[in-house]
Structure 1
Amino acid sequence: MPLRIGIAGAGPAGLATALALAGEGHQVEVFEKHPAIAPLGAGLLIQPQGLHALGALGVRPAFDAASVPIHRLLGTSHRGWRVVDINYRDIPARAVGRAALSRVLHAAAHAAGVRFALGCPVESLAAVGTRARATTPHGASDFDLFAIADGAASGLRETVGLAGPSRAYRWGALWGQFWVPDWQAADMLLQRFRGTSEMMGLLPTERSGDAVRLSFFWSLPVEHHAAWRDSDLDAWKAHVLSLWPQAQAVLAQITKHDDLALAVYRHTWPRSMGQGPLCIVGDAAHAMSPQLGLGTTLAMQDALALADAVRRHGAAGAVAAYAARRLRPSQAYQTLSRALTPCFQARGGGLWRDLAFALGQRMPGVPWLMKRSLAAPVGAGVGPFN
């Protein structure tokens, strides 16, 4: 029997969840506080298990057309040492712009019959008996199940007792997207590090002829953003180029501070992934530093796990089954993320990090473990933590 299911948030997690549940024949309504689905943000790296999830959602051909393959993640320090080196050639990852991913998921969800209430935030949410009651500016509606997918800054997850307040990371990132002709690393995510206080990345997300659209990011303490906006832009660009001279084609396109936006990241530790008729998915459940590049991949897997739980257990047992399946992997990756963040976003020369990671690249089994932690074989769950 089809269930009536509500979702708060039309980001990747909300759209994927809506698509997965509508594909099972349920009546799904998504509430989005913004008047249009027009996400902002830099490029995303989708790990191989995320691609498998997109295939299960039925959008893999459309996604492949909107994304580009990534065959290697290579991060080097200012000393010229390899810090991170993951080869994806046997199981490629793919990169995509956030807006392009949203268009793919939204089109598929719309075609599957999902209803969208745009410009309609969920103001409160509560369990009323065995059902969920969502209150919006237009009134209250009851659902058999309700998924909170309104992102890392969600307030709903706290009001229903599924998580405590999220904590903003001290470090954020300047980001922008730029077309570059004849880019030589069109299938690689490249990163550069100067100590643990400076980090830069270039991720291809789109191709047009010989040109590649690169998603650029530069790590920056959030408290320093105002000072950066007041600084001499040419001097900052010269400093960036001293770390990565080959990025001149990107830096030349940054002519004013407004060409780069600031991304702020948050950490959330869920008490539970669900209770009663209410559950949380995506960054609302397990926001973390982008260091692992797993946020969107985990969101896709949350969506499929919830749909599978509904199919197996119905409205009465779905949330409990989903929560039991997803809580442990989510917490494990959050723990790993918190452990690795000081290696890349802190104040220090980074010699210990460079030595440890460079030596690790030469130790038997370590590169395999690093790759498996991020890009688990399809069918193996979420890395070694599932």
Structure 2
Amino acid sequence: MKTLHIGIAGAGPAGLAAALMLSRRGHRVEILERFDAASPVGSGLMLQPTGLTVLNTLGLLQPMLVLGSRIDRLYGADAKSGRTVLDVRYDALAGGRFGLAVQRAALFNTLHDAVAAVGLPVKTGVTLTEVRMAGGKAVMLDAQGHEAGAYDLVIDASGARSALAAGSTAAPKVRELAYGAFWATLDSDGLNHDAHALVQRYDRAKVMIGILPAGRARMGERDRVAFFWSLRVADTDVIWQAGLDRWKARILDYWPDCAPLLDQISDWEQLTLARYAHRTMRRPVSGRIAFVGDSAHSTSPQLGQGANMALLDVAALSHALETAGDLDAALAAYAAARRNHVALFQLLSLLFTPFYQSDSTALAWLRDRLVATVARTPPMQGLLASIVSGTLIDPFKPAGLAECDWQAVRGGADGRGQAAAPAIST
């Protein structure tokens, strides 16, 4: 395919990764960002073997291993009885896979530094509202209706609230989810926690408290943890009005070990309220726009797939542009490559979410007793690990990827980057 001039809406991880990958394959790229300065949004996230493999193709896996915290296990218990509710271990799968918990700032900084290092252009302060075809080009318009750029292809990586996605012919139906979460990134000094596990406490499905070791935002900084507490979004004002001390007392009643974290919170402004919605485009393409990441599909973070799905989208789109004969064929190939994987994990997330964030007492009872028991029996342990890993069906081949050799990579994760560079399987 000829060299394309590509406009990328959004300078988040998906947009930055797309710019890097496509520029390395000879395309001319430009990023347009609505904020005056591109910056990370949110607290911590889990990079699964899927997202880590994409970062490896970009040559950025080793820096992320240095910054992140290796996760071997997802563990959850009933806050009142202490009964184990969830225990998913990556080692239930062969090959040495693991997760990597990172601060969103670490992922953003690593990608942004790589973009800046090669001088890729980033236009900031541009709020994009529409894409129109004119003279064979996809023309992006800003909030004033002015032309922001004309391109052979537009990639929308502007997130779940994308105006480009909402105004496209592929616009998905949006189901706002009742539950969201307060998030904060906090110091771990004095905290009794497992440095290699995401640990959660539950009270039915109405309360979920979690601690995720999240590593460092940059070299030289201290390790931190991501702390979250789920809530009905509609109850937020009531919680705020009741006061911070009452909220803290409630958490301590459930999980006293959280005290060193709560001591650091003196103002509601230190907490970010995350709101979730379930939305999936039937086809992540509309004319000359390709949608990646949350603009194409988003849901609750129960399965920890969001950033990983976005990185897989970018890899699949880049592979399609590399191998197809023309742009129409490439966009069709991209949609086909991601169809099954996205559909499966969107469905799984939609099904799993009510067991952990809902008003249903019955679903919580089933989770704590029936599901927790079944999950401890083979082959369910491996099945759950493959769901968490994002590898229940093969996500790599359709995106033109070779999965990492995790035994070789693991040395870097264990030694925080002191081992040799990871090998790649062929």
Change over 3 Å in CA distance of 1:164–1:362 after alignment to 2: closer
The C-alpha deviation readout for 1:86-131, integer Å capped at 9, x for no partner, is 2235212101111221111111123344211100122211244753
Deviates more, 1:374-383 or 1:334-343: 374-383
Q: How far is 1:216 from its partner?
A: 0.6
SS at match of 1:52: helix
Partner of 1:316 in structure 2? 328
Asked if 1:111 corresponds to 2:117, the answer is: yes
Please, which of 170, 178, 185 is the counterpart of residue 177 of structure 1?
Answer: 185
Asked if 1:338 corresponds to 2:329, the answer is: no
Instruction: Measure the CA separation in 2 of the matches of 1:258 and 1:278.
Output: 37
Partner of 2:98 in structure 1? 92
Q: Which amino acid aligns with 1:147?
A: I
User: Given the two structures, how large is their TM-score scaled by the length of structure 1?
Assistant: 0.93
Partner of 2:214 in structure 1? 205
Q: How far is 1:379 from its partner?
A: 9.6
SS at match of 1:178: strand
SS at match of 2:158: coil
SS at match of 2:26: coil
1:176-325 mapped onto 2 (5 Å cutoff): 176-183=184-191, 184-206=193-215, 212-313=223-324, 314-325=326-337
SS at match of 1:156: helix
Q: Which amino acid aligns with 2:206?
A: S
Q: Number of residues paired by the alignment?
A: 384
Instruction: Measure the CA separation in 1 of the matches of 2:222 and 2:370.
Output: 36
Deviates more, 1:96-105 or 1:293-302: 96-105
Instruction: Measure the CA separation in 2 of the matches of 1:284 and 1:244.
Output: 36
Partner of 1:82 in structure 2? 84
The question of whether the paired residues in 1 share the 8 Å contact of 2:284 and 2:292 is answered with yes
Partner of 1:102 in structure 2? 108
Partner of 1:368 in structure 2? 382
Instruction: Measure the CA separation in 2 of the matches of 1:132 and 1:364.
Output: 52
The question of whether the paired residues in 2 share the 8 Å contact of 1:127 and 1:133 is answered with yes
Instruction: Measure the CA separation in 1 of the matches of 2:319 and 2:68.
Output: 27
The question of whether the paired residues in 2 share the 8 Å contact of 1:81 and 1:358 is answered with no
Instruction: Measure the CA separation in 2 of the matches of 1:124 and 1:266.
Output: 22
Partner of 1:47 in structure 2? 48
Change over 3 Å in CA distance of 1:363–1:24 after alignment to 2: same
Please, which of 127, 130, 135 is the counterpart of residue 124 of structure 1?
Answer: 130
The question of whether the paired residues in 2 share the 8 Å contact of 1:182 and 1:210 is answered with no
Q: How far is 1:342 from its partner?
A: 0.8
Partner of 2:407 in structure 1? none
SS at match of 1:2: coil
Partner of 1:68 in structure 2? 69
Q: Which amino acid aligns with 2:368?
A: D
Instruction: Measure the CA separation in 2 of the matches of 1:230 and 1:382.
Output: 48
SS at match of 1:124: strand
Partner of 2:421 in structure 1? none
Instruction: Measure the CA separation in 1 of the matches of 2:148 and 2:360.
Output: 52
Instruction: Measure the CA separation in 1 of the matches of 2:188 and 2:248.
Output: 17
Q: How far is 1:211 from its partner?
A: 6.2
The question of whether the paired residues in 1 share the 8 Å contact of 2:302 and 2:353 is answered with yes
The C-alpha deviation readout for 1:201-231, integer Å capped at 9, x for no partner, is 1111125999641111100111111111111
Q: How far is 1:57 from its partner?
A: 1.7
The question of whether the paired residues in 1 share the 8 Å contact of 2:44 and 2:102 is answered with yes
Partner of 2:5 in structure 1? 4
Instruction: Measure the CA separation in 1 of the matches of 2:116 and 2:174.
Output: 31
The question of whether the paired residues in 2 share the 8 Å contact of 1:29 and 1:114 is answered with yes
For structure 2, the 5+ residue unaligned runs are: 398-426
Instruction: Measure the CA separation in 2 of the matches of 1:197 and 1:12.
Output: 31
User: Given the two structures, how large is their TM-score scaled by the length of structure 2?
Assistant: 0.85
- Percent of aligned positions with the same letter in both sequences? 36
Deviates more, 1:205-214 or 1:275-284: 205-214
Q: How far is 1:265 from its partner?
A: 1.2
The C-alpha deviation readout for 1:163-198, integer Å capped at 9, x for no partner, is 234332111101111102254411211111110100
The C-alpha deviation readout for 1:18-42, integer Å capped at 9, x for no partner, is 1111111111011111001112211
The question of whether the paired residues in 1 share the 8 Å contact of 2:33 and 2:124 is answered with yes
Instruction: Measure the CA separation in 2 of the matches of 1:54 and 1:274.
Output: 24
The question of whether the paired residues in 2 share the 8 Å contact of 1:50 and 1:301 is answered with yes
Partner of 2:338 in structure 1? 326
Change over 3 Å in CA distance of 1:258–1:150 after alignment to 2: same
Change over 3 Å in CA distance of 1:382–1:352 after alignment to 2: farther
The question of whether the paired residues in 1 share the 8 Å contact of 2:354 and 2:360 is answered with no
Q: How far is 1:271 from its partner?
A: 2.4
The question of whether the paired residues in 2 share the 8 Å contact of 1:43 and 1:205 is answered with yes
Q: How far is 1:365 from its partner?
A: 0.7
Q: How far is 1:323 from its partner?
A: 0.8
Deviates more, 1:136-145 or 1:245-254: 136-145
The question of whether the paired residues in 2 share the 8 Å contact of 1:6 and 1:29 is answered with yes
